[in-house]
Structure 1
Protein backbone atom coordinates (compact mmCIF):
# COMPACT_ATOMS: atom_id res chain seq x y z
CA UNK A 1 0.00 0.00 0.00
CA UNK A 2 1.29 3.46 -0.88
CA UNK A 3 1.38 6.09 1.86
CA UNK A 4 -2.27 6.70 2.80
CA UNK A 5 -3.75 10.01 3.80
CA UNK A 6 -5.46 8.55 6.85
CA UNK A 7 -4.51 5.94 9.44
CA UNK A 8 -7.54 4.69 11.36
CA UNK A 9 -6.48 3.12 14.66
CA UNK A 10 -8.85 0.90 16.62
CA UNK A 11 -8.01 -0.23 20.16
CA UNK A 12 -10.00 -3.14 21.56
CA UNK A 13 -10.24 -5.27 24.67
CA UNK A 14 -12.91 -7.96 25.08
CA UNK A 15 -15.49 -6.03 23.08
CA UNK A 16 -16.08 -8.29 20.10
CA UNK A 17 -19.61 -6.98 19.29
CA UNK A 18 -18.37 -3.39 19.42
CA UNK A 19 -15.30 -4.27 17.34
CA UNK A 20 -17.48 -5.84 14.66
CA UNK A 21 -19.65 -2.73 14.53
CA UNK A 22 -16.59 -0.50 14.21
CA UNK A 23 -15.17 -2.64 11.41
CA UNK A 24 -18.48 -2.58 9.51
CA UNK A 25 -18.60 1.21 9.67
CA UNK A 26 -15.05 1.46 8.29
CA UNK A 27 -15.75 -1.05 5.52
CA UNK A 28 -18.86 0.86 4.45
CA UNK A 29 -16.93 4.06 3.69
CA UNK A 30 -16.81 5.40 0.13
CA UNK A 31 -13.41 6.90 1.06
CA UNK A 32 -10.53 4.57 0.22
CA UNK A 33 -7.31 6.50 0.92
CA UNK A 34 -6.80 4.96 4.35
CA UNK A 35 -5.23 2.12 6.27
CA UNK A 36 -6.77 0.41 9.27
CA UNK A 37 -4.74 -0.67 12.29
CA UNK A 38 -6.22 -2.76 15.11
CA UNK A 39 -4.53 -3.13 18.48
CA UNK A 40 -6.16 -5.80 20.62
CA UNK A 41 -5.18 -6.24 24.27
CA UNK A 42 -5.14 -10.06 24.22
CA UNK A 43 -8.94 -10.42 24.25
CA UNK A 44 -10.49 -13.80 24.99
CA UNK A 45 -14.04 -13.12 23.73
CA UNK A 46 -13.59 -13.93 20.04
CA UNK A 47 -12.15 -10.53 19.07
CA UNK A 48 -8.95 -12.09 17.75
CA UNK A 49 -10.90 -14.39 15.47
CA UNK A 50 -12.89 -11.41 14.18
CA UNK A 51 -9.65 -9.59 13.34
CA UNK A 52 -8.26 -12.65 11.54
CA UNK A 53 -11.38 -12.88 9.36
CA UNK A 54 -11.23 -9.14 8.68
CA UNK A 55 -7.55 -9.40 7.74
CA UNK A 56 -8.35 -12.09 5.16
CA UNK A 57 -11.04 -10.03 3.44
CA UNK A 58 -9.80 -6.44 3.69
CA UNK A 59 -6.74 -5.01 1.90
CA UNK A 60 -6.94 -1.94 4.16
CA UNK A 61 -5.99 -3.69 7.40
CA UNK A 62 -2.28 -2.93 7.30
CA UNK A 63 -1.35 -4.08 10.80
CA UNK A 64 -2.89 -5.83 13.77
CA UNK A 65 -1.73 -7.43 16.98
CA UNK A 66 -3.32 -9.21 19.92
CA UNK A 67 -1.15 -9.05 23.02
CA UNK A 68 -1.27 -7.74 26.61
CA UNK A 69 -0.74 -4.02 27.05
CA UNK A 70 -0.65 -1.40 29.80
CA UNK A 71 -3.98 0.26 29.05
CA UNK A 72 -5.75 2.13 26.27
CA UNK A 73 -3.04 4.76 25.73
CA UNK A 74 -0.37 2.08 25.47
CA UNK A 75 -2.51 0.47 22.78
CA UNK A 76 -2.98 3.77 20.98
CA UNK A 77 0.77 4.40 21.06
CA UNK A 78 1.35 0.97 19.51
CA UNK A 79 -1.01 1.93 16.72
CA UNK A 80 0.79 5.23 16.14
CA UNK A 81 4.13 3.43 15.87
CA UNK A 82 2.83 1.44 12.88
CA UNK A 83 0.80 4.23 11.26
CA UNK A 84 1.93 5.54 7.88
CA UNK A 85 -0.87 8.04 7.19
CA UNK A 86 -0.55 11.81 7.09
CA UNK A 87 -3.37 11.96 9.62
CA UNK A 88 -4.17 9.78 12.63
CA UNK A 89 -7.77 8.98 13.56
CA UNK A 90 -8.79 6.92 16.59
CA UNK A 91 -12.02 4.94 16.24
CA UNK A 92 -12.03 2.47 19.10
CA UNK A 93 -14.19 -0.62 19.37
CA UNK A 94 -17.84 0.26 19.89
CA UNK A 95 -17.48 3.64 18.16
CA UNK A 96 -18.62 3.89 14.55
CA UNK A 97 -18.62 6.36 11.69
CA UNK A 98 -21.84 8.24 11.01
CA UNK A 99 -22.75 7.19 7.49
CA UNK A 100 -20.77 5.88 4.50
CA UNK A 101 -19.62 9.26 3.17
CA UNK A 102 -18.22 10.79 6.35
CA UNK A 103 -14.53 10.42 5.52
CA UNK A 104 -15.09 11.55 1.93
CA UNK A 105 -16.47 14.82 3.34
CA UNK A 106 -13.24 15.74 5.14
CA UNK A 107 -10.64 17.93 3.45
CA UNK A 108 -7.27 16.86 4.81
CA UNK A 109 -5.51 20.12 4.05
CA UNK A 110 -2.57 20.04 6.44
CA UNK A 111 -4.34 21.60 9.43
CA UNK A 112 -2.91 20.08 12.63
CA UNK A 113 -6.26 19.33 14.29
CA UNK A 114 -9.38 18.81 12.18
CA UNK A 115 -12.36 18.25 14.43
CA UNK A 116 -15.97 17.43 13.61
CA UNK A 117 -19.05 16.70 15.69
CA UNK A 118 -19.69 13.58 17.73
CA UNK A 119 -22.89 11.90 18.86
CA UNK A 120 -22.75 10.43 22.36
CA UNK A 121 -25.41 7.73 22.58
CA UNK A 122 -26.84 6.91 26.01
CA UNK A 123 -29.71 4.64 24.95
CA UNK A 124 -31.91 3.85 21.95
CA UNK A 125 -33.79 7.11 22.48
CA UNK A 126 -31.28 9.35 24.28
CA UNK A 127 -28.21 10.98 22.79
CA UNK A 128 -26.23 14.20 22.85
CA UNK A 129 -24.41 15.84 19.96
CA UNK A 130 -21.04 17.33 20.92
CA UNK A 131 -20.24 20.32 18.69
CA UNK A 132 -16.76 21.87 19.13
CA UNK A 133 -16.28 25.64 18.79
CA UNK A 134 -15.17 27.31 15.57
CA UNK A 135 -12.10 28.67 17.33
CA UNK A 136 -10.12 27.23 20.21
CA UNK A 137 -8.67 29.18 23.11
CA UNK A 138 -7.02 28.11 26.33
CA UNK A 139 -10.11 28.82 28.39
CA UNK A 140 -12.17 26.34 26.39
CA UNK A 141 -9.70 23.47 26.59
CA UNK A 142 -8.94 24.02 30.28
CA UNK A 143 -12.65 23.57 31.03
CA UNK A 144 -13.73 21.21 28.27
CA UNK A 145 -12.40 18.94 25.51
CA UNK A 146 -12.48 18.15 21.82
CA UNK A 147 -14.25 14.88 20.95
CA UNK A 148 -11.44 12.44 20.26
CA UNK A 149 -13.48 10.07 18.03
CA UNK A 150 -14.25 13.07 15.81
CA UNK A 151 -10.70 14.46 15.63
CA UNK A 152 -8.21 13.94 12.80
CA UNK A 153 -4.71 14.70 14.05
CA UNK A 154 -1.73 15.43 11.84
CA UNK A 155 0.85 12.67 12.16
CA UNK A 156 3.62 15.19 12.82
CA UNK A 157 2.10 15.98 16.23
CA UNK A 158 3.05 12.50 17.41
CA UNK A 159 6.71 12.73 16.49
CA UNK A 160 8.54 12.32 19.82
CA UNK A 161 5.24 12.90 21.61
CA UNK A 162 3.31 9.74 22.44
CA UNK A 163 0.29 9.64 24.72
CA UNK A 164 1.23 9.52 28.37
CA UNK A 165 0.52 6.13 29.93
CA UNK A 166 0.68 7.43 33.51
CA UNK A 167 -2.83 8.84 33.01
CA UNK A 168 -5.78 6.49 32.46
CA UNK A 169 -8.28 8.83 30.82
CA UNK A 170 -7.03 12.33 29.93
CA UNK A 171 -3.82 11.77 27.93
CA UNK A 172 -5.60 12.75 24.70
CA UNK A 173 -6.78 15.96 26.42
CA UNK A 174 -3.21 16.69 27.54
CA UNK A 175 -2.07 16.22 23.94
CA UNK A 176 -4.71 18.72 22.78
CA UNK A 177 -3.75 21.34 25.37
CA UNK A 178 -0.04 20.94 24.71
CA UNK A 179 -0.34 21.25 20.94
CA UNK A 180 -3.24 23.64 20.45
CA UNK A 181 -2.56 25.98 23.37
CA UNK A 182 1.07 25.72 24.39
CA UNK A 183 2.46 25.15 20.89
CA UNK A 184 -0.19 27.05 18.93
CA UNK A 185 -0.87 24.35 16.32
CA UNK A 186 -3.56 25.02 13.73
CA UNK A 187 -7.17 23.95 14.27
CA UNK A 188 -10.27 23.68 12.10
CA UNK A 189 -13.84 22.72 12.93
CA UNK A 190 -15.91 20.98 10.27
CA UNK A 191 -19.64 21.01 10.98
CA UNK A 192 -20.15 17.35 10.12
CA UNK A 193 -21.35 14.55 12.37
CA UNK A 194 -18.36 12.23 12.30
CA UNK A 195 -19.03 9.38 14.69
CA UNK A 196 -21.20 7.74 17.29
CA UNK A 197 -19.39 7.32 20.59
CA UNK A 198 -19.81 4.29 22.83
CA UNK A 199 -20.88 5.86 26.14
CA UNK A 200 -20.13 2.65 28.05
CA UNK A 201 -16.37 3.07 27.59
CA UNK A 202 -13.78 3.82 30.26
CA UNK A 203 -13.76 7.61 29.93
CA UNK A 204 -17.56 7.85 30.08
CA UNK A 205 -18.09 5.54 33.03
CA UNK A 206 -15.23 6.92 35.12
CA UNK A 207 -15.87 10.64 34.91
CA UNK A 208 -14.62 11.28 38.44
CA UNK A 209 -11.26 9.71 37.58
CA UNK A 210 -10.98 11.94 34.52
CA UNK A 211 -11.79 15.03 36.57
CA UNK A 212 -9.23 14.10 39.23
CA UNK A 213 -6.58 13.50 36.56
CA UNK A 214 -7.31 16.80 34.84
CA UNK A 215 -7.10 18.71 38.13
CA UNK A 216 -3.83 16.94 38.90
CA UNK A 217 -2.34 17.95 35.54
CA UNK A 218 -3.52 21.56 35.90
CA UNK A 219 -2.01 21.85 39.38
CA UNK A 220 1.29 20.46 38.11
CA UNK A 221 1.45 22.68 35.03
CA UNK A 222 -0.46 25.90 35.74
CA UNK A 223 -0.03 27.88 38.98
CA UNK A 224 -3.28 28.13 40.94
CA UNK A 225 -3.48 31.92 40.86
CA UNK A 226 -3.08 31.98 37.09
CA UNK A 227 -5.71 29.27 36.60
CA UNK A 228 -8.16 31.04 38.93
CA UNK A 229 -7.62 34.29 37.03
CA UNK A 230 -8.33 32.58 33.73
CA UNK A 231 -11.56 31.12 35.12
CA UNK A 232 -12.61 34.56 36.36
CA UNK A 233 -12.08 35.95 32.87
CA UNK A 234 -14.13 33.14 31.39
CA UNK A 235 -16.97 33.66 33.86
CA UNK A 236 -17.01 37.36 32.99
CA UNK A 237 -17.07 36.59 29.26
CA UNK A 238 -20.20 34.46 29.71
CA UNK A 239 -21.97 36.96 31.94
CA UNK A 240 -24.59 39.51 30.87
CA UNK A 241 -22.25 42.33 31.84
CA UNK A 242 -19.50 40.95 29.64
CA UNK A 243 -21.79 40.80 26.63
CA UNK A 244 -23.23 44.34 26.91
CA UNK A 245 -20.08 46.35 27.50
CA UNK A 246 -18.06 46.26 24.26
CA UNK A 247 -15.26 48.46 25.58
CA UNK A 248 -14.70 46.21 28.56
CA UNK A 249 -15.01 43.21 26.29
CA UNK A 250 -12.25 44.59 24.07
CA UNK A 251 -9.99 45.16 27.05
CA UNK A 252 -10.84 41.71 28.37
CA UNK A 253 -9.80 40.20 25.01
CA UNK A 254 -6.40 41.87 25.30
CA UNK A 255 -6.15 40.67 28.89
CA UNK A 256 -6.90 37.10 27.78
CA UNK A 257 -4.03 37.30 25.31
CA UNK A 258 -1.72 38.51 28.05
CA UNK A 259 -2.90 35.73 30.37
CA UNK A 260 -2.27 33.16 27.65
CA UNK A 261 1.28 34.45 27.26
CA UNK A 262 1.78 34.17 31.01
CA UNK A 263 0.50 30.58 30.97
CA UNK A 264 2.83 29.71 28.09
CA UNK A 265 5.82 31.28 29.86
CA UNK A 266 5.11 29.58 33.18
CA UNK A 267 4.55 26.25 31.48
CA UNK A 268 7.96 26.49 29.80
CA UNK A 269 9.60 27.44 33.12
CA UNK A 270 7.96 24.53 34.93
CA UNK A 271 9.00 22.11 32.21
Structure 2
Protein backbone atom coordinates (compact mmCIF):
# COMPACT_ATOMS: atom_id res chain seq x y z
CA UNK A 1 0.00 0.00 0.00
CA UNK A 2 1.39 3.38 -1.04
CA UNK A 3 2.10 5.75 1.84
CA UNK A 4 0.00 8.91 2.05
CA UNK A 5 2.11 11.92 1.05
CA UNK A 6 2.56 14.69 3.59
CA UNK A 7 1.42 17.30 1.11
CA UNK A 8 -0.57 17.74 -2.08
CA UNK A 9 0.69 20.70 -4.11
CA UNK A 10 -1.95 22.17 -6.42
CA UNK A 11 -0.96 24.45 -9.28
CA UNK A 12 -3.64 26.32 -11.22
CA UNK A 13 -2.66 27.87 -14.54
CA UNK A 14 -4.17 29.77 -17.44
CA UNK A 15 -2.07 31.10 -20.31
CA UNK A 16 0.94 31.79 -18.08
CA UNK A 17 3.46 29.37 -19.53
CA UNK A 18 6.53 31.35 -18.47
CA UNK A 19 5.22 31.62 -14.92
CA UNK A 20 4.33 27.91 -14.94
CA UNK A 21 7.87 26.95 -15.97
CA UNK A 22 9.29 28.91 -13.02
CA UNK A 23 6.78 27.36 -10.61
CA UNK A 24 7.48 23.79 -11.70
CA UNK A 25 11.22 24.36 -11.46
CA UNK A 26 10.86 25.62 -7.88
CA UNK A 27 8.96 22.45 -6.97
CA UNK A 28 11.45 20.18 -8.70
CA UNK A 29 14.35 21.76 -6.76
CA UNK A 30 12.91 20.69 -3.41
CA UNK A 31 14.86 17.98 -1.58
CA UNK A 32 11.67 17.01 0.27
CA UNK A 33 10.02 14.03 -1.49
CA UNK A 34 6.78 13.23 0.38
CA UNK A 35 4.51 15.20 -1.93
CA UNK A 36 2.25 14.81 -4.92
CA UNK A 37 1.71 17.48 -7.54
CA UNK A 38 -1.60 18.25 -9.22
CA UNK A 39 -1.88 20.72 -12.10
CA UNK A 40 -5.19 22.23 -13.21
CA UNK A 41 -4.88 24.12 -16.47
CA UNK A 42 -7.83 26.14 -17.81
CA UNK A 43 -7.40 25.11 -21.45
CA UNK A 44 -4.38 27.33 -22.11
CA UNK A 45 -3.32 28.09 -25.68
CA UNK A 46 0.17 29.50 -24.99
CA UNK A 47 2.21 26.30 -24.79
CA UNK A 48 1.39 25.51 -21.17
CA UNK A 49 0.12 22.03 -22.05
CA UNK A 50 3.42 21.16 -23.72
CA UNK A 51 5.21 22.30 -20.55
CA UNK A 52 3.01 20.03 -18.43
CA UNK A 53 3.60 17.06 -20.74
CA UNK A 54 7.35 17.61 -20.51
CA UNK A 55 7.13 17.90 -16.71
CA UNK A 56 5.11 14.68 -16.56
CA UNK A 57 7.98 12.80 -18.22
CA UNK A 58 10.55 14.26 -15.85
CA UNK A 59 8.89 13.58 -12.47
CA UNK A 60 6.99 10.84 -10.70
CA UNK A 61 5.34 13.34 -8.37
CA UNK A 62 2.77 14.58 -10.91
CA UNK A 63 -0.21 12.39 -10.04
CA UNK A 64 -2.92 14.24 -11.96
CA UNK A 65 -3.31 17.02 -14.49
CA UNK A 66 -6.01 18.28 -16.81
CA UNK A 67 -6.50 21.06 -19.31
CA UNK A 68 -10.11 22.15 -19.71
CA UNK A 69 -12.22 25.30 -19.39
CA UNK A 70 -13.22 26.31 -15.87
CA UNK A 71 -15.06 29.10 -14.06
CA UNK A 72 -12.05 30.89 -12.63
CA UNK A 73 -9.14 30.34 -10.27
CA UNK A 74 -11.16 29.07 -7.31
CA UNK A 75 -13.03 26.61 -9.51
CA UNK A 76 -9.65 25.31 -10.62
CA UNK A 77 -8.43 25.10 -7.02
CA UNK A 78 -11.56 23.15 -6.06
CA UNK A 79 -10.95 20.73 -8.93
CA UNK A 80 -7.47 20.19 -7.60
CA UNK A 81 -8.73 19.55 -4.05
CA UNK A 82 -10.91 16.72 -5.36
CA UNK A 83 -7.81 14.89 -6.62
CA UNK A 84 -5.65 15.19 -3.50
CA UNK A 85 -4.54 12.38 -1.21
CA UNK A 86 -2.05 14.28 0.98
CA UNK A 87 -2.49 15.12 4.65
CA UNK A 88 -1.99 18.80 3.81
CA UNK A 89 -3.03 20.84 0.78
CA UNK A 90 -0.87 23.65 -0.57
CA UNK A 91 -1.65 26.01 -3.47
CA UNK A 92 1.26 27.20 -5.60
CA UNK A 93 -0.22 28.71 -8.73
CA UNK A 94 1.68 29.54 -11.91
CA UNK A 95 4.13 32.38 -11.35
CA UNK A 96 4.54 31.62 -7.63
CA UNK A 97 7.81 29.95 -6.58
CA UNK A 98 8.75 27.94 -3.50
CA UNK A 99 11.85 29.04 -1.61
CA UNK A 100 14.58 26.44 -2.18
CA UNK A 101 14.27 23.40 0.12
CA UNK A 102 11.58 25.05 2.24
CA UNK A 103 9.29 22.02 2.32
CA UNK A 104 11.70 20.07 4.52
CA UNK A 105 11.30 22.78 7.19
CA UNK A 106 7.51 22.48 7.51
CA UNK A 107 6.28 20.65 10.66
CA UNK A 108 3.35 18.60 9.33
CA UNK A 109 2.04 17.85 12.81
CA UNK A 110 -1.75 17.84 12.40
CA UNK A 111 -2.30 21.58 13.01
CA UNK A 112 -5.21 22.90 10.94
CA UNK A 113 -3.50 25.92 9.38
CA UNK A 114 0.29 26.09 9.23
CA UNK A 115 1.45 29.35 7.69
CA UNK A 116 4.64 31.29 7.16
CA UNK A 117 5.78 34.50 5.54
CA UNK A 118 5.75 35.57 1.90
CA UNK A 119 8.23 37.42 -0.32
CA UNK A 120 6.69 39.91 -2.74
CA UNK A 121 8.70 40.30 -5.92
CA UNK A 122 8.36 42.61 -8.89
CA UNK A 123 7.77 46.34 -8.89
CA UNK A 124 10.35 48.77 -7.57
CA UNK A 125 11.40 46.79 -4.53
CA UNK A 126 11.14 43.23 -3.25
CA UNK A 127 9.87 42.91 0.29
CA UNK A 128 9.05 40.24 2.84
CA UNK A 129 5.69 40.39 4.58
CA UNK A 130 5.63 38.64 7.93
CA UNK A 131 2.40 37.02 9.05
CA UNK A 132 1.15 37.55 12.62
CA UNK A 133 1.47 34.91 15.30
CA UNK A 134 -2.16 35.54 16.21
CA UNK A 135 -4.91 35.54 13.60
CA UNK A 136 -7.97 37.40 14.83
CA UNK A 137 -10.86 39.51 13.58
CA UNK A 138 -8.85 42.71 13.61
CA UNK A 139 -6.22 41.18 11.32
CA UNK A 140 -8.73 39.52 8.97
CA UNK A 141 -10.83 42.64 8.65
CA UNK A 142 -8.47 44.10 6.07
CA UNK A 143 -5.83 41.43 5.46
CA UNK A 144 -5.53 37.73 4.73
CA UNK A 145 -3.18 34.78 4.94
CA UNK A 146 -1.75 34.36 1.42
CA UNK A 147 -2.50 30.86 0.15
CA UNK A 148 1.11 30.71 -1.12
CA UNK A 149 2.21 30.68 2.54
CA UNK A 150 -0.43 28.29 3.95
CA UNK A 151 -0.40 24.54 4.44
CA UNK A 152 -4.00 23.55 5.16
CA UNK A 153 -5.02 20.23 6.65
CA UNK A 154 -7.17 18.25 4.21
CA UNK A 155 -9.93 17.77 6.83
CA UNK A 156 -10.70 21.51 6.61
CA UNK A 157 -11.84 21.03 3.02
CA UNK A 158 -14.10 18.04 3.72
CA UNK A 159 -17.21 20.12 4.31
CA UNK A 160 -16.24 23.39 2.64
CA UNK A 161 -14.52 24.17 -0.63
CA UNK A 162 -13.72 27.62 -1.98
CA UNK A 163 -16.80 29.73 -2.70
CA UNK A 164 -16.70 30.40 -6.44
CA UNK A 165 -19.21 33.24 -6.07
CA UNK A 166 -16.21 35.32 -5.01
CA UNK A 167 -13.42 36.03 -7.50
CA UNK A 168 -10.74 37.38 -5.15
CA UNK A 169 -11.28 36.50 -1.48
CA UNK A 170 -12.54 32.89 -1.40
CA UNK A 171 -9.31 31.81 0.35
CA UNK A 172 -9.82 34.61 2.90
CA UNK A 173 -13.39 33.34 3.46
CA UNK A 174 -12.09 29.83 4.08
CA UNK A 175 -9.58 31.00 6.69
CA UNK A 176 -12.23 33.19 8.35
CA UNK A 177 -14.63 30.26 8.62
CA UNK A 178 -12.01 27.78 9.84
CA UNK A 179 -9.90 29.90 12.18
CA UNK A 180 -12.39 32.44 13.57
CA UNK A 181 -15.77 30.72 13.51
CA UNK A 182 -14.81 27.04 13.77
CA UNK A 183 -11.74 27.75 15.94
CA UNK A 184 -9.44 25.29 14.19
CA UNK A 185 -5.84 25.04 15.35
CA UNK A 186 -3.26 27.22 13.61
CA UNK A 187 0.33 28.36 14.00
CA UNK A 188 2.84 30.67 12.39
CA UNK A 189 6.25 29.30 11.44
CA UNK A 190 9.21 31.70 11.02
CA UNK A 191 10.06 30.91 7.42
CA UNK A 192 9.55 32.63 4.08
CA UNK A 193 7.60 30.03 2.13
CA UNK A 194 7.32 31.39 -1.39
CA UNK A 195 7.93 34.28 -3.75
CA UNK A 196 4.78 35.92 -5.04
CA UNK A 197 4.23 38.51 -7.76
CA UNK A 198 1.46 40.77 -6.40
CA UNK A 199 0.54 42.35 -9.73
CA UNK A 200 -2.75 40.46 -9.97
CA UNK A 201 -6.39 41.19 -9.24
CA UNK A 202 -6.18 39.78 -5.68
CA UNK A 203 -3.69 42.51 -4.79
CA UNK A 204 -6.25 45.25 -5.51
CA UNK A 205 -7.20 46.34 -1.97
CA UNK A 206 -10.41 48.13 -3.00
CA UNK A 207 -11.82 45.12 -4.85
CA UNK A 208 -10.69 42.70 -2.15
CA UNK A 209 -12.28 44.77 0.59
CA UNK A 210 -15.49 45.09 -1.42
CA UNK A 211 -15.75 41.29 -1.60
CA UNK A 212 -14.87 40.87 2.09
CA UNK A 213 -17.64 43.25 3.13
CA UNK A 214 -20.07 41.57 0.74
CA UNK A 215 -19.41 38.19 2.37
CA UNK A 216 -19.61 39.62 5.89
CA UNK A 217 -22.93 41.28 5.11
CA UNK A 218 -24.34 38.02 3.72
CA UNK A 219 -23.10 35.82 6.55
CA UNK A 220 -23.12 37.83 9.76
CA UNK A 221 -25.94 39.32 11.80
CA UNK A 222 -26.51 43.02 11.16
CA UNK A 223 -25.04 44.31 14.49
CA UNK A 224 -21.79 42.44 13.90
CA UNK A 225 -21.57 43.53 10.26
CA UNK A 226 -22.10 47.16 11.28
CA UNK A 227 -19.36 46.78 13.90
CA UNK A 228 -17.01 45.56 11.19
CA UNK A 229 -17.82 48.60 9.06
CA UNK A 230 -17.15 50.96 11.97
CA UNK A 231 -13.87 49.24 12.77
CA UNK A 232 -12.86 49.35 9.12
CA UNK A 233 -13.53 53.09 9.00
CA UNK A 234 -11.61 53.56 12.24
CA UNK A 235 -8.61 51.74 10.79
CA UNK A 236 -8.49 54.23 7.94
CA UNK A 237 -8.80 57.20 10.30
CA UNK A 238 -6.25 59.05 12.41
CA UNK A 239 -7.06 56.64 15.28
CA UNK A 240 -5.91 53.52 13.42
CA UNK A 241 -2.80 53.14 15.59
CA UNK A 242 -4.97 52.64 18.66
CA UNK A 243 -6.48 49.39 17.36
CA UNK A 244 -3.35 47.19 17.41
CA UNK A 245 -2.57 48.44 20.92
CA UNK A 246 -6.08 47.64 22.13
CA UNK A 247 -6.01 44.30 20.40
CA UNK A 248 -2.94 43.23 22.37
CA UNK A 249 -4.79 43.45 25.68
CA UNK A 250 -6.27 40.17 26.89
CA UNK A 251 -9.44 41.86 28.12
CA UNK A 252 -10.14 43.31 24.65
CA UNK A 253 -9.48 39.96 22.96
CA UNK A 254 -11.72 38.03 25.36
CA UNK A 255 -14.62 40.45 25.08
CA UNK A 256 -14.38 40.74 21.30
CA UNK A 257 -14.27 36.99 20.82
CA UNK A 258 -17.20 36.34 23.19
CA UNK A 259 -19.37 38.90 21.41
CA UNK A 260 -18.50 37.61 17.95
CA UNK A 261 -19.05 33.94 18.78
CA UNK A 262 -22.33 34.68 20.56
CA UNK A 263 -23.74 36.66 17.65
CA UNK A 264 -22.47 34.13 15.12
CA UNK A 265 -24.10 31.20 16.95
CA UNK A 266 -27.39 33.09 17.36
CA UNK A 267 -27.36 33.90 13.67
CA UNK A 268 -26.67 30.24 12.79
CA UNK A 269 -29.59 29.06 14.93
CA UNK A 270 -31.97 31.56 13.35
CA UNK A 271 -30.80 30.61 9.87
CA UNK A 272 -31.46 26.91 10.55
CA UNK A 273 -35.02 27.66 11.66
CA UNK A 274 -35.99 29.86 8.72
- TM, length-normalised to structure 2: 0.89
Q: CA deviation at 1:255?
A: 1.8
Matching residue of 1:121: 121
Structure 2 residue 150 is the aligned partner of structure 1 residue 147: no
- TM, length-normalised to structure 1: 0.89
How many residues end up aligned between the 2 structures?
Answer: 264
User: Contact (CA 8 Å) 1:221, 1:270: kept in 2 or not?
Assistant: no
User: Contact (CA 8 Å) 1:122, 1:199: kept in 2 or not?
Assistant: yes
User: Contact (CA 8 Å) 2:118, 2:149: kept in 1 or not?
Assistant: yes
Q: Go from structure 1 to structure 2 and tell me whether the alpha carbon gap of 1:260 and 1:70 turns closer, same or farther (over 3 Å shift).
A: same
Structure 2 residue 55 is the aligned partner of structure 1 residue 54: yes
Q: Deviations over 1:216-271 (max 9, x none)?
A: 1111122343244465599689529966xx9xx45433322322222432442346
Q: Go from structure 1 to structure 2 and tell me whether the alpha carbon gap of 1:84 and 1:256 turns closer, same or farther (over 3 Å shift).
A: same
Q: Deviations over 1:44-78 (max 9, x none)?
A: 00000000000011000010000111110110011
User: Contact (CA 8 Å) 2:19, 2:95: kept in 1 or not?
Assistant: yes
Q: CA deviation at 1:133?
A: 1.0
Structure 2 residue 188 is the aligned partner of structure 1 residue 185: no
Q: How does 1:87-98 map to 2 (within 5 A)?
A: 87-98=88-99
Q: Go from structure 1 to structure 2 and tell me whether the alpha carbon gap of 1:168 and 1:55 turns closer, same or farther (over 3 Å shift).
A: same
Q: Deviations over 1:121-149 (max 9, x none)?
A: 233x5123221111222222223211110
Q: Whole-Å Cα distance in 2 between the matches of residues 93 and 24 of structure 1?
A: 11
Q: Whole-Å Cα distance in 2 between the matches of residues 239 and 200 of structure 1?
A: 31
Range moving further from structure 2, 255-264 or 189-198: 255-264
SS of residue in 1 equivalent to 2:95: coil
Q: Whole-Å Cα distance in 2 between the matches of residues 70 and 108 of structure 1?
A: 32
- Structure 1 gaps of 5+ residues are none
RMSD value, Cα: 2.4
Q: Deviations over 1:94-147 (max 9, x none)?
A: 000112x20000110000000000011233x51232211112222222232111
Q: Whole-Å Cα distance in 1 between the matches of residues 156 and 244 of structure 2?
A: 39
Give structure 1 regions of 4+ aligned residues with deviation exceeding 3 angstroms. Answer: 227-238, 240-243
Matching residue of 1:67: 68
Structure 2 residue 197 is the aligned partner of structure 1 residue 194: no
SS of residue in 2 equivalent to 1:264: helix
Q: CA deviation at 1:181?
A: 0.7
Q: Whole-Å Cα distance in 1 between the matches of residues 202 and 38 of structure 2?
A: 21
SS of residue in 2 equivalent to 1:192: strand
